[in-house]
Structure 1
Amino acid sequence: MASTQRVVLGEGVTWTVVGEDFRVAEPVEQYLEYLRSRDCSPNTLKSYARGLALWWTFLERRAQSWDAIGVTELGTFVGQLRRESVAEDVVPLDDGTGRAADATVASRARAVMGFYRYHAARGVEVAGRLYETVKARPGSYLPFLEHVARRTGRRSSVVKIRVRAKPVPVLLPGQMAAIREAEAAWDAAGAVWSGELRYRLLWTLLEETGLRLGEAIGLRHRDWKTGTGTTAQVEVVHREDHPHGVRAKSGHRRVFVGSALDRLYGDWVWALCEAGADVELGDWDDAYIFCNLRRGSRFAPIRPESVYKHLGVVKRRLPAVPHGMTPHWYRHTHATALLLAGVPMHVVSRRLGHADVQTTINTYAHVTEDAELRACADWQKITQAWGTGHES
């Protein structure tokens, strides 16, 4: 059975696919190297490698060459993905219905189609047959810059996976408040914070900015622009030198924050100084905001795994917090709250750091739709308006 293999390089961690003979699957590695050259994140590479490992397993079990397949084989593969019968120990995708989750099936299939699209561009004949040229039909919706592709048409995969849209998970205000209070509380008598101030700052930051976890724990003190007569802001900067491989997925952007969060950061800086960080750290500006205090190397950046482990402890202490909650729920909650408050979609997209506003629309369209549909609930009020209009 083919498998994914973690590879540690001088510039960080990456992933590749190893076949049943324990050799690197060369055509897959060529495609993954192409993704690396495009500066894809390690997590994206890992996800694509998993999908391609399943595809390679499928081919090896059928004794079939990768460049001698067609639509029938792809359809069979997708069917096996849905039934989790390609390789059960590689695809733990059950969503509670006895079958793989649609979104994950689509993700795995997307990796395979991307693989063949790359090889189609390299001139591999079979890969070219898996794509068709589609031209806009009269009266159909034309996306932005459609005129660029109007003459030659667009290349479209012949295999398409329909995914049932699901509302994104969100946290309630009371649940987020409970998590904050469980981490650290202000002792008015002693004028000090008691508890895990570091994690209170982290959860509050995720709640109020919608940052991804990797973006948050990758922040350095130079990235936090404290408000001194202006609105405080956090700069998300693309770097590739984090010791644990985290980085900003969407490049550079500024996220403005409120004064309460800014003061909380100031309290955390004071706590770090009391712990001796100002003496031990050679360059304060270059030091990471979220760092170790008691375990591991002092003042070294915390690991994402440590955050998840700590969150698991918090969830066991707080039964009201959903068992399946992850730090990414804060991002969904932030976007949902902004949209319900009437913030324009393009502004939310920029704040979240989405490369394309369409990503925001696809993910959170149900939020604005629900808000608009809610206005139709009071049918009596609507019909009364009709009567008023006729009388006038």
Structure 2
Amino acid sequence: MARNEAQSVADLSSIVLSRIGEVVSTTYPGLPWHVEGLAKSEDDVVLIDDFLRELSANDCSAQTLRSYSFDLLRWWRFLATRGRRWDVATRTDVRDLVLWMRQARIKGYRPATINHQLSVLSVFYEHQARLGAGPVINPVPAGGAGIRRYARHNPLEEYRLQPRQPYRQRVVDCPPRALPDDVIERIFASLRSNRDRALIAMYLSTGVRANELLGMTGRDVDWGNQAIGVISKGTRAYQWVPASPDALTWLRLYLNDGPPQPVGERLWWTLREPRRPLEYSAVRALLRRTNKALGTGITLHDFRHTCATRLANDPSIPITDVQAVLRHVHLSTTARYIRPQTQDMISRVREHHQRPKPNTTADSGPWRHDATDLAELFGGTL
């Protein structure tokens, strides 16, 4: 490797992205999220908005648009640190972005995050190419026919190992991050209010996603059937999910603590005045305080994993019922929760090693024929 190239690779770890731009929510129809404040050129803001509107017209959810906005903003910030424009970006720029993401923040971004970043950039540049803009060649390389790994596979044929596309990271199928019972007890002991206890109990018993729970209103609680109604993230369909009696008890205590709420209003509110609907950022702040107090690294999605693991490993609950609770489209997604927990596996194997071994036979010598069988075979006494 040449000296200049080696120095360039080493410098990637010290890059600090420019802080230009931000992702903000809007009230515009078809554009719930928007990137603004990009330096030097408002034209870039316009073309990003056009791309997001194209996604919205293709029935992408608001959360998808938000995710794409952050990935595009990261790309613009990376290019700004190198003094390059988006329309002259090359494969080398994409490669260096991947290298930087692998090294950034000490441990780097997760492989799935890097792969998502590449997918967003690839689709963005394909959209610009259809409009006759951007570089002649898409800077994000595609392998083979440019389709996803194992896509369009004939189920009658066996799987063959397919190479990953260039720069795509290897994603390891890690076990779900289910929380042990003792950790959950410590979490509840650290919570300060009935609202926080009701939130965590609902996450644990229903397995709903963070924003699904926060979007509920008073009409979405069926006290008689012990269920809550949520709008699913993927399908955006309204579905009922069973809740535990403990979670509903904490919810009733939380509602009794505050002023009466109209049935049609949001269910979750801030505790401080002026009262306002509880947002995702506030729940994350709650969890950060909990992690700091307990010395843990728990995420909100860990509660969904915990609920799914408990249900999937209960022999009295059919796996199809677990699929309905989690609202998975494919049963294979639910089946990944049917696996032994690491701590449980270690405990069982330890018990196996500590169990008394059966007594060995007195005759430990070489294998011999039974004397009675030999006598019968040769017609005499041996």
Q: Same fold (TM over 0.5)?
A: yes
Call closer, same or farther: CA 1:368–1:305 in 2, change over 3 Å.
same
Residue 314 of structure 1: how far off its partner (Å): 4.1
Provide the C-alpha distance between the structure 2 equivalents of 1:56 and 1:276, rounded to a whole number of angstroms: 46
Structure 1 counterpart of 2:56, from 36, 46, 52: 36
Call closer, same or farther: CA 1:46–1:24 in 2, change over 3 Å.
farther
- What is aligned with 1:110? 119
Normalising by structure 1, we get a TM-score of: 0.65
Q: How does 1:328-347 map to 2 (within 5 A)?
A: 328-342=301-315, 347=321
Q: Which has the larger radius of gyration?
A: 2
Provide the C-alpha distance between the structure 2 equivalents of 1:291 and 1:372, rounded to a whole number of angstroms: 38
Deviations 1:178-218 (A, max 9, x none): 333444xxxxxxxxxxx622222111111101112221122
SS in 1 for 2:145: strand
Call closer, same or farther: CA 1:367–1:331 in 2, change over 3 Å.
same
- Check conservation: 1:48, 1:111, Cα contact below 8 A: yes
SS in 2 for 1:48: helix
- What is aligned with 1:309? 285
- What is aligned with 1:289? 267
Call closer, same or farther: CA 1:5–1:134 in 2, change over 3 Å.
closer
- Say whether residues 1:256 and 2:280 are aligned partners: no
- Say whether residues 1:82 and 2:55 are aligned partners: no
Call closer, same or farther: CA 1:288–1:158 in 2, change over 3 Å.
same
- What is aligned with 1:189? none
- What is aligned with 1:172? 180
- What is aligned with 1:325? 298
Call closer, same or farther: CA 1:16–1:209 in 2, change over 3 Å.
same
Provide the C-alpha distance between the structure 2 equivalents of 1:369 and 1:308, rounded to a whole number of angstroms: 26
Q: Which moved more, 1:44-53 or 1:125-134?
A: 125-134
SS in 2 for 1:214: helix
The share of aligned pairs that are identical, in percent, is: 21
Structure 1 counterpart of 2:231, from 216, 220, 237: 237
Provide the C-alpha distance between the structure 2 equivalents of 1:19 and 1:333, rounded to a whole number of angstroms: 41
- What is aligned with 1:126? 137
- Check conservation: 2:204, 2:306, Cα contact below 8 A: yes
Provide the C-alpha distance between the structure 2 equivalents of 1:371 and 1:313, rounded to a whole number of angstroms: 26
Letter of the aligned partner of 1:339 in structure 2?
A: A
Provide the C-alpha distance between the structure 2 equivalents of 1:71 and 1:158, rounded to a whole number of angstroms: 10
- Check conservation: 1:233, 1:257, Cα contact below 8 A: yes
- What is aligned with 2:106? 94
- What is aligned with 1:201? 198
- Check conservation: 1:339, 1:368, Cα contact below 8 A: no
What residue ranges of structure 2 are gaps of 5+ in the alignment?
A: 1-17, 157-163, 359-382
Provide the C-alpha distance between the structure 2 equivalents of 1:27 and 1:160, rounded to a whole number of angstroms: 26
Call closer, same or farther: CA 1:121–1:352 in 2, change over 3 Å.
farther
- Check conservation: 1:4, 1:17, Cα contact below 8 A: yes
Residue 223 of structure 1: how far off its partner (Å): 0.6
Residue 234 of structure 1: how far off its partner (Å): 0.9
- What is aligned with 1:21? 40
Residue 14 of structure 1: how far off its partner (Å): 1.5
- Say whether residues 1:352 and 2:352 are aligned partners: no
Residue 258 of structure 1: how far off its partner (Å): 3.1
Call closer, same or farther: CA 1:293–1:255 in 2, change over 3 Å.
same
Call closer, same or farther: CA 1:309–1:68 in 2, change over 3 Å.
closer
- Check conservation: 2:122, 2:140, Cα contact below 8 A: no
- Say whether residues 1:49 and 2:93 are aligned partners: no
SS in 2 for 1:14: strand
Provide the C-alpha distance between the structure 2 equivalents of 1:115 and 1:146, rounded to a whole number of angstroms: 31
Residue 220 of structure 1: how far off its partner (Å): 0.9
SS in 1 for 2:100: helix
- Check conservation: 2:211, 2:280, Cα contact below 8 A: yes
Provide the C-alpha distance between the structure 2 equivalents of 1:83 and 1:232, rounded to a whole number of angstroms: 47
Q: Number of paired residues?
A: 324
Call closer, same or farther: CA 1:355–1:75 in 2, change over 3 Å.
farther
Q: Which moved more, 1:124-133 or 1:208-217?
A: 124-133
Residue 305 of structure 1: how far off its partner (Å): 3.0
- Check conservation: 2:214, 2:278, Cα contact below 8 A: yes
SS in 2 for 1:289: coil
Residue 158 of structure 1: how far off its partner (Å): 5.5
Residue 116 of structure 1: how far off its partner (Å): 3.0
